[in-house]
Structure 1
């Protein structure tokens, strides 16, 4: 299945340059078992080709059930910055100016297709003037449908569609921004560290790693606990190896919009030795309460604050995916941010069971994320050895 088109940046952004299994090994050690009418057009956080039509015969009553077998075919990998010199080149590429000017990945087709790349010079462009992308119209009022401004930091709530996270804890360190170059333009996403024996793995959306059937991202860098003006209190980590699910790489299947990256060290230290990592769970029960985190960059957000949504997960009402929905008005830039179940607001820890992937055009206040089943586990098993 290929749902499609980005949750677009609004005019202000462009004007300004636009049984369940739990994996939880913090270091080499034992694994820990634990408790994880026809639809309208779709807006993606990433740019993709439009769906061919309704998914006949598909339901959202349960996870996809790929046939058992080795990871071969389920995982596609790519070597990124292998040597120290290559990793240094990547980190040197991301000057504070480039980081500030990077755009949400949802603008990929517009920017690299030649529509905006030469015109992002601070000249305002009305949202209503945005062209159609594929077969899906842009929602001109998207920014207005989000909260009027990031809410002031306050005690975490179990129900919110987008508030600044001010409670600290592990999640404020393990969640970060991703910076990458695709087709010659610079973009941003969100991601989270994951506890693994290698101590180097982060999880994000597949479209934040590879452009579906197209190119792999370059200059891929993770900045945990990202701060204002490009600050990086816990270091910057270049990608060594990148991994996406086979269904994503072969057909941009949104049920498997999952990517994982094995990072290089920073100052000789592995990323989870510095910031820790969240547990990750597979084949977890559907539904229940979840907290989603990310760095939205479209108005009313600016990409320099960690934002969260919290609420009950529910199946896709249009039955166009096996993804689950979470009430969330976070905007583009939050793609790939982690969804945590069993989340403890006091400690900032939980189990990653999904991530921010796409929205439907008629419901900008609901985010959808892929279910982490057998293929997601194969992806993690490969990445932790990367």
Structure 2
């Protein structure tokens, strides 16, 4: 097959993937889409999951483009009013893996519960940062809404997602996990709302041992309604620091950016999208409490970026994704 023919096949397959309309929304502002292979088939069984993992060869991972920060088509009007938490502060505790894990070779501020998320967009292979989160069914991976859907009217769903925990310079110490379903907020899909730029990916069993992802690498905790101002550690795979090949981190106090968006000092750029902002990150264990994710940079020249403020909406999305997860 010539290079041109191969490119045409890939383009057609990616278009087929993007055109699949199977989505389901609920009354609480959450919406989901089934993961699909590059040629548009739902990833709802072990054979399809293995096919997605096999698709993402080291060469395709290396060629994937780090996704840009969120740039919604319909931004709406931004205000600088002081938004407040819309409920009581809540916490879900981190959880350790069920298999024995040796963290002796970890780098400083490197977490086995954080990795790279690879997927296909209408324009080709892309990647974001993502992290596992503790839940009863132990299948959830958190990232940004713009890592699953381009956002706003006329936007498109992506597909062919695979998560590689603790990816480092091409290595996959725990293997890869194909997504089953992705869930995000309807306000992100419909209008590209920055405060709703959040997503949860439900994973099939996978990795080298055929286990659930949280059983394999553990999961961070989750916090919501903790106010603007907590000290955070943001971790991701920025292309401007380490070439998107290793985890990078920054630490800062936080404050309200605009609307219900939280801001911190951090020089990370593209590729860090979807990476967690963690309260009480413990370098000895590699876990903390996710309290936002990397979304966009209103002041990139000042070394700042923004993430959605985690209020009752993230808890609603979390409960929605957990209910959709297989046992």
In the other structure, the counterpart of 1:172 is 111
Alpha-carbon distance in 2 for matches of 1:296, 1:202:
19
What's the CA shift string for 1:168-202, capped at 9, x where partnerless? 58951000001010104111100000000111100
Superposition pairs of residues 180-195 of structure 1, within 5 angstroms: 180-195=119-134
Correspondence for 1:369 among 304, 307, 314 = 307
Cα-Cα RMSD:
2.5
Correspondence for 2:187 among 235, 247, 270 = 247
Shift of 1:385: 2.1
Alpha-carbon distance in 1 for matches of 2:107, 2:312:
32
- Secondary structure of the residue aligned to 1:221 is strand
- Secondary structure of the residue aligned to 1:350 is strand
In the other structure, the counterpart of 2:14 is none
Alpha-carbon distance in 2 for matches of 1:248, 1:108:
10
Q: Is 1:263 aligned with 2:203?
A: yes
In the other structure, the counterpart of 1:276 is 218
Shift of 1:283: 1.2
Q: Taking CA–CA contacts closer than 8 Å with sequence separation of 6 or more, which of the two structures ends up with the larger relative contact order?
A: 1
**4+ long deviations beyond 6 Å:** none
- Secondary structure of the residue aligned to 1:172 is coil
Shift of 1:134: 8.2
Superposition pairs of residues 56-67 of structure 1, within 5 angstroms: none
Alpha-carbon distance in 1 for matches of 2:59, 2:300:
35
What's the CA shift string for 1:234-255, capped at 9, x where partnerless? 1101110100011111111001
TM-score when scaled to structure 2? 0.74
Shift of 1:346: 3.0
Shift of 1:376: 1.0
Correspondence for 1:105 among 63, 67, 71 = 67
Correspondence for 2:143 among 193, 196, 204 = 204
In the other structure, the counterpart of 1:313 is 254
> Which residues of structure 1 form unaligned runs of 5+?
1-69, 110-132, 136-165
Q: Identify the range of structure 1 (207-216 vs 94-103) with the bigger mean alpha-carbon deviation.
A: 207-216
Shift of 1:93: 1.3
Shift of 1:293: 0.3
In the other structure, the counterpart of 2:292 is 354
- Secondary structure of the residue aligned to 1:210 is coil
Correspondence for 1:328 among 258, 266, 284 = 266
Alpha-carbon distance in 1 for matches of 2:144, 2:254:
18
In the other structure, the counterpart of 1:25 is none
Q: Is 1:83 aligned with 2:34?
A: no
Shift of 1:289: 0.7
Distance 1:362 1:342, change over 3 A: closer
In the other structure, the counterpart of 1:45 is none
What's the CA shift string for 1:152-171, capped at 9, x where partnerless? xxxxxxxxxxxxxx965895
In the other structure, the counterpart of 1:146 is none
In the other structure, the counterpart of 1:301 is 242
> Which residues of structure 2 form unaligned runs of 5+?
1-24, 36-42, 75-104
In the other structure, the counterpart of 1:220 is 161
Alpha-carbon distance in 2 for matches of 1:189, 1:203:
11
Shift of 1:89: 1.9
Alpha-carbon distance in 1 for matches of 2:255, 2:106:
26
TM-score when scaled to structure 1? 0.63
Contact kept, 8 Å, 2:69 with 2:297, in 1: the verdict is no
